[in-house]
């Protein structure tokens, strides 16, 4: 692959997640009550092109959110 030509080693594929796998979307501190939910269930969609974040579909709200590592 082109990665191998540039870096002289094989890419690490352990951190990759398959499309559609279940994930947890963390809720920001401003939106969390003391005894409320800390996350929502969702599905992994893809990796962000311009940052190390991920995009996930939030089942509860029906929207696509950017998730931080």
| Tally of structural domains, the chain | 1
**Average pLDDT across the chain, whole number:** 85
Q: Is residue 3 part of a domain?
A: no
**Which residues constitute the domain of residue 37?**
18-67
Q: Quick check: is 51 in a domain?
A: yes
Q: Please check the confidence at residue 69 and state whether its pLDDT lies above 70.
A: no
Say how far apart CA 10 and CA 51 lie, in whole Å.
Answer: 22
Prediction pTM value: 0.68
Do the Cβ atoms of 56 and 45 come closer than 8 Å? yes
In a domain, 48, yes or no: yes
Quick check: helix, strand or coil at residue 7?
A: helix
Is 48 in contact with 54 (CB distance < 8 Å)?
A: yes
pLDDT for 29-59, tens place per residue?
777 777 878 888 999 999 888 888 899 999 9
The whole-angstrom separation of Cα 13 and Cα 30 is 34
12 falls within a domain = no
């Amino acid at each position: 692959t082109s990665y191998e030509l540039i870096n002289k080693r094989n890419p690490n594929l352990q951190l990759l997640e398959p499309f559609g796998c279940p994930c947890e979307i963390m809720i920001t501190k401003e939106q969390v009550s003391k005894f409320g939910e800390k996350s929502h269930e969702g599905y992994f969609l893809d990796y962000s092109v311009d940052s190390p974040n991920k995009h996930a579909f939030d089942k509860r709200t029906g929207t696509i959110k950017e998730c931080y590592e």
